[in-house]
A and B are shown apart, each in its own frame.
Chain A
Amino acid sequence: MFKFFLVKLSQLVPTFIGVTIVAFSFIRLLPGDPILLMAGERGISAERYAQLKSQMGFDRSLILQYFDFLKGLLHGDLGNSLVTHAPVMDEFMSRFPATLELSLFALAFAVIIGLPAGVLAAVKRGKTLDHSIMGISLTGYSMPIFWWGLLLIMLFSSILGWTPVSGRISFLYFIEPVTGFMTIDSLIAGDWGAFLSSLHHLILPGIVLGTIPLAVIARQTRSSMLEVLGEDYVRTARAKGLSNYRVIMVHTLRNALISVVTVIGLQVGLLLAGAILTETIFSWPGIGKWMIDAISRRDYPSVQGGLVLIAFIVMIVNLLVDLAYGVINPRISH
């Protein structure tokens, strides 16, 4: 098992290097001189230009620049934001928990509803319930997130007034950030009202972000279940006289979950991509919105740093999913 883990980890290294190269090249691929770009419309004096050039290391060879970048990366130094002049790493870390909270909520929503739905559809294969669930799933899968968010806001916030329009928590509350998770922090602070408010704010964006993963999970669960239901060992389980419930929940689901878990893990990439749109619509102060702002404000160090960090997170999660797969599948763990 440990060998399995090491193998997977070592496979990540070249990918990670590739990611850093991509991020590194990003600024340098932009049309125009990077320093002038970063200076913006104001323009800079010749001395300042020379100063910045040596400061940022642009006067050194490309290879050395890359290694500087890599070195900085390993120390957690990704440069400073052009807009706020704060370290990119700090900007990222201060916003990341918001995205994480939203993504976890969305994922939980997707799994709690999608998994049972898929099982139900598989068990009632061919009947109306199956068709309805798959129809809804297909619709969710085809949904443009940004429109879905706007639609739900129109319906539930503007017309019905059930949910807030934007933000993480009502502006009446101020909670001291401890974990960065508004829900947990408000519980730590003992403020029940704040906790409820934070949940209230999570609902709509969470549903919007979780819609596509829900559809994917439901479909995958259903097809995995159907595949397993046709296997010989399920027939053996029935031949043992076990109850239908046990056959489905213990024998079939356990095996079907193996491939479903992989799919759940792969949703992370999707969640982060979806977070960009969802956070924009709901003004959710996470890294998705931060990246969009950075791109439109030409805050290139932030974009570069964000690219590396986000890609890094996706790779780590994929590694964890691979490991989880190895644990769940006895053929690998034994």
Chain B
Amino acid sequence: MTAISTPAAPGTFRYQLASFWSDFSASRGALVGLLFIVFILLVALFAPWVAPHDPAMQDRSALLVPPVWHAEGSWSYLLGTDAVGRDILSRLIYGARYSLSISAMVVVLSMGVGIFLGLLAGYFRGWVETVITRVMDVVLAFPSLLLALGLVAILSPGLTSAMIAIAMVQLPYFVRLTRAAVIGEKDREYVIASRLSGAGHLRLMFNTLLPNCMAPLIVQATLSFSTAILDIAALGFLGMGVQPPTPEWGAMLANAREFMGSAYWAVTFPGLIILLTVLMINLMGDGLRDALDPKMKRS
């Protein structure tokens, strides 16, 4: 049983993990981003225990109560209430559950399909590649939100359609990245060696090529994650995504829009939390990119 303190030998996974971590943690921004994400993940996970109120509970006696630091504010509604008396802080906390989980599922879906298509395109080239890249070009010709809206209209507004729509919009980025990485790696010696020792197509694609193309894909995944959060919120804001009374951040903003002048807290806080979350993810993504890509110049 080796002692935990022995340093890992170069080439092992533990060594790679350790050297990745030292590169990653060198960037303060990346660490801050990571900490915040972990924090918000925990908050979302333990929402029922963390949130002071039930997000759907309406307190008719406390309509549009300002945050606690105002004269009319109250300690039971720290960030105030909305137009029907629901606690904003609790809605934000529960909203995190939706935003984070939906975005995660979107990224997984997009990545899964995108990587698969990209592998096919880069590996087989020829007409397979042409068809796949052309289809992706068509997807890219539409502004992302427009396409998502169109898809949602077709599939009828709701959670699943929003997810599918946004995953579709992110698809081309994963396809392109994977395809470019595969084309770059395909003619390297280790791939040829694998092929010569009898590896079949599937094995070559998934076991040999894919692990070596992961670095830019992971970076893109964080980027897609943050874009997904923004897009979900945008759809929610337009009324096309998650339906009321679900406490989704974008939808909360839409509801509060008419009270822009009178109840600034209903508008400011949902948007602020979106901004903060996306910002932290992007910070972390920057750190990931610097740590994973050896050719990237450290900025």
Is there direct touching of A and B in the complex, by C-beta distance under 8 Å? yes
Task: Indicate whether A307 reaches chain B with its CB closer than 8 angstroms.
Answer: yes
Q: Mark B261-299, 1 if CB is under 8 A from A, else 0.
A: 100100110111011001101110010000000000101
Interchain CA distance A154-B266 in the complex, whole Å = 12
Considering the complex, give the chain B residue whose CB is closest to the CB of A271.
Answer: B143
Task: Indicate whether B144 reaches chain A with its CB closer than 8 angstroms.
Answer: yes
CB within 8 Å for A154 and B271 given contacts A273-B146, A276-B143, A314-B143: no
Query: A154, B141: Cβ atoms under 8 Å?
Result: no
Interchain CA distance A227-B296 in the complex, whole Å = 10
State how many angstroms separate the Cβ of B77 from the closest Cβ of chain A: 21
Query: B146, A272: Cβ atoms under 8 Å?
Result: yes
Task: Indicate whether B209 reaches chain A with its CB closer than 8 angstroms.
Answer: no
Interchain CA distance A147-B226 in the complex, whole Å = 16
Contacts of B56 in A (CB 8 A): none
Task: Indicate whether B253 reaches chain A with its CB closer than 8 angstroms.
Answer: yes
Within 8 A of A (CB), among B108-156: 134-135, 137-138, 140-146, 149-150, 153-154, 156
Chain-B contact segment, one of A15-23, A188-196, A324-332: A15-23
Query: A147, B146: Cβ atoms under 8 Å?
Result: no
Query: A276, B145: Cβ atoms under 8 Å?
Result: yes
CB within 8 Å for A147 and B279 given contacts A276-B145, A310-B143: no
Interface hub of A144, A226, A292, A314 (most chain B Cβ within 10 A): A144
Query: B143, A15: Cβ atoms under 8 Å?
Result: no
Within 8 A of B (CB), among A8-39: 14-15, 18-19, 21-22, 26, 29-31
Contacts of B154 in A (CB 8 A): 26, 29-31
Interchain CA distance A273-B297 in the complex, whole Å = 32
Within 8 A of B (CB), among A128-171: 134, 138-139, 141-148, 150-151, 153-154, 158
Contacts of A143 in B (CB 8 A): 275, 278
CB within 8 Å for A307 and B271 given contacts A29-B154, A125-B299, A223-B299: no
Interchain CA distance A66-B110 in the complex, whole Å = 30
Contacts of B274 in A (CB 8 A): 144, 147
Interchain CA distance A280-B271 in the complex, whole Å = 17
Query: B260, A15: Cβ atoms under 8 Å?
Result: no
Task: Indicate whether A73 reaches chain B with its CB closer than 8 angstroms.
Answer: no
Task: Indicate whether B230 reaches chain A with its CB closer than 8 angstroms.
Answer: yes
Within 8 A of A (CB), among B139-182: 140-146, 149-150, 153-154, 156
State how many angstroms separate the Cβ of B226 from the closest Cβ of chain A: 7
Interface hub of B237, B239, B275, B299 (most chain A Cβ within 10 A): B299
Interface Cβ pair total, 8 Å cutoff: 130
Task: Indicate whether A230 reaches chain B with its CB closer than 8 angstroms.
Answer: yes
Query: A273, B282: Cβ atoms under 8 Å?
Result: no
Contacts of B264 in A (CB 8 A): 154
B135: which of A18, A230, A303 is its contact (CB, 8 Å)? A18
A227: which of B144, B226, B297 is its contact (CB, 8 Å)? B297
Query: A307, B237: Cβ atoms under 8 Å?
Result: no
Contacts of A272 in B (CB 8 A): 143, 146
Query: A150, B134: Cβ atoms under 8 Å?
Result: no
Contacts of A202 in B (CB 8 A): none
Query: A142, B257: Cβ atoms under 8 Å?
Result: no
B257: which of A144, A150, A222, A273 is its contact (CB, 8 Å)? A150
Query: B267, A150: Cβ atoms under 8 Å?
Result: yes
Interchain CA distance A65-B234 in the complex, whole Å = 34
Interchain CA distance A307-B134 in the complex, whole Å = 18
B230: which of A22, A144, A154, A303 is its contact (CB, 8 Å)? A144
Task: Indicate whether A291 reaches chain B with its CB closer than 8 angstroms.
Answer: yes
Query: B275, A144: Cβ atoms under 8 Å?
Result: yes
Task: Indicate whether B221 reaches chain A with its CB closer than 8 angstroms.
Answer: no
Task: Indicate whether A311 reaches chain B with its CB closer than 8 angstroms.
Answer: yes
Query: B275, A311: Cβ atoms under 8 Å?
Result: no
Contacts of B205 in A (CB 8 A): none
A315: which of B141, B233, B257, B282 is its contact (CB, 8 Å)? B141
CB within 8 Å for A230 and B297 given contacts A142-B282, A150-B271: yes
In order of increasing CB-CB distance, the 6 nearest A-B pairs are A147-B271, A18-B138, A273-B143, A142-B278, A142-B279, A273-B145
Excluding A223-B299, A277-B237, A310-B142, 10 further A-B contacts by CB distance (< 8 Å) are A19-B141, A31-B156, A134-B299, A138-B283, A147-B274, A150-B260, A158-B261, A291-B149, A295-B149, A311-B141
CB pairs A–B below 8 angstroms (27 shown): A18-B134, A18-B135, A18-B137, A18-B141, A30-B154, A31-B154, A125-B299, A138-B282, A142-B282, A143-B275, A144-B275, A145-B234, A148-B271, A150-B260, A150-B267, A222-B299, A227-B297, A269-B143, A273-B145, A276-B143, A276-B145, A276-B149, A277-B145, A277-B238, A307-B146, A311-B138, A314-B142
